[in-house]
Structure 1
Amino acid sequence: MLGNTDPGASRSGRDELETLDDLAALLAPIPFTGRIDGDDAELRDVRQTRALLRRVWTQGRDDAVGEVNRILRDAKALPQLARHDVSDWHLHATVPEAPLGERMRVEAALALIDVIRSNEMARLRLCEADDCSGLVLDLSRNGSKRFCSVRCGNRMNMIAFRERQAADT
């Protein structure tokens, strides 16, 4: 996830969008179609997209609406169905020639529309683990997911276990 490439949220503890190679590694498993320049300007734009998405992730519903509408307006988004390669019908709202960062912002905005309309912004939050600012997308039935990864959950459970053991002695 783009938002968790941030140094405070990444598994490596470093900025995972520091270099063009990092960007290529992020995109490798994702079937992004259309224009990919692979240059420094694109890397800067994708980093700005990451910062925007991290900000929207923690906003309230009404504030998020303003950001989503601005993203769509700035991109002159025109949602339409598309089918290509091995992908069945899905939604695109920019032309394939649009810059990668813009396409990422618009795709995120389209996903956020459903979150906002369903009044489920509370399912987007930050990881509760110490020293982690990872983004959490809580798709659990009861909305109780607290950590961005199993790693963070295990680490916090071990800390709690050790604290209980120390209290018992």
Structure 2
Amino acid sequence: MLFDSHVELLLDAAVSLVNELTDGERRGKPYTAPAGEELLSAVPAALPGHRAQSPVPDRLPAESAEYLAEAARTMRLVFEGMDEDRADDAAAAANDLLRRTGARPQLDRVPGEPWQVHFHGTDDSYGVGWSAGCATALALAVGSELAGRLGVCRAPRCDRVYVDASRNSVRHFCSAPCQSRVKAAAYRARRGAAPK
């Protein structure tokens, strides 16, 4: 494990929010992020909801959903900055999100578990709370030797993001399907170029 479990959960949430709530390309096809009514159920689906102490509802209020969609666009700038060796830009985007959310650490405890440092925003709404947590996790990543673990998919016509949790820092794709697409294309290219 590269990051502690709470930071890892928040980085996973940041990846999911960026990949689900920002326009671009996904697996070789144009991707349009959900909006309006679709956004209200897409945001909770993107958040980790398995924690009993903080269950995610099926639909969020429009204000929280829109806040998270806007935060996801800023989070994307962090991933893009790190992927393109523009750490200053990534840090500026993370700092912007930290300021907007008023992110602050707080010790929380789940019954039967030890105290843990969690990150909260200026209020406990889903939009601000999750954005503050994700912003803090991204800032911790950018400010560490693990900053290079934030990336954007290298597959053609895909701009989804990932956190490389591999042991040797070898991940370059957002998903196994994108990795397979690239490998299959390289294989077809080699076969087509082989002398006959």
TM-score scaled by length of structure 1: 0.81
- Once the two structures are overlaid, the 10-residue window that deviates more, 148-157 or 57-66, is 57-66
Which amino acid is 1:133 matched to? D
| CA separation of 1:35 and 1:131: change in aligned 2, threshold 3 A | closer
Unaligned runs of 5+ in 2: 1-15
Asked if the contact 1:68/1:113 (under 8 Å) is kept, the reply is: yes
- Secondary structure of the residue that 2:97 maps to in structure 1? helix
Would you say 1:27 and 2:47 are equivalent positions?
yes
- Once the two structures are overlaid, the 10-residue window that deviates more, 150-159 or 91-100, is 91-100
| CA separation of 1:114 and 1:94: change in aligned 2, threshold 3 A | closer
Q: Distance in 1 between matches of 2:160 and 2:34?
A: 15
Unaligned runs of 5+ in 1: none
Aligned positions of 1:13-162 closer than 5 A? 14-15=31-32, 17-18=34-35, 19=38, 20-27=40-47, 29-31=49-51, 33=54, 38-59=60-81, 60-84=86-110, 89-94=115-120, 97-162=123-188
Asked if the contact 1:129/1:153 (under 8 Å) is kept, the reply is: yes
- Secondary structure of the residue that 2:120 maps to in structure 1? coil
Asked if the contact 2:152/2:160 (under 8 Å) is kept, the reply is: yes
TM-score scaled by length of structure 2: 0.71
Q: Distance in 2 between matches of 1:144 and 1:58?
A: 17
Report the count of equivalent residues: 169
RMSD of the alignment, in Å? 3.0
| CA separation of 1:69 and 1:154: change in aligned 2, threshold 3 A | same
Asked if the contact 1:49/1:104 (under 8 Å) is kept, the reply is: no
- Secondary structure of the residue that 2:117 maps to in structure 1? strand
- Once the two structures are overlaid, the 10-residue window that deviates more, 57-66 or 43-52, is 57-66
Q: Distance in 2 between matches of 1:78 and 1:102?
A: 11
C-alpha deviation, 1:148, in angstroms: 0.7
Which amino acid is 1:22 matched to? A
| CA separation of 1:94 and 1:133: change in aligned 2, threshold 3 A | same
Which amino acid is 1:163 matched to? A
- Once the two structures are overlaid, the 10-residue window that deviates more, 22-31 or 5-14, is 5-14
- Once the two structures are overlaid, the 10-residue window that deviates more, 33-42 or 44-53, is 33-42
- Once the two structures are overlaid, the 10-residue window that deviates more, 109-118 or 25-34, is 25-34
| CA separation of 1:143 and 1:35: change in aligned 2, threshold 3 A | closer
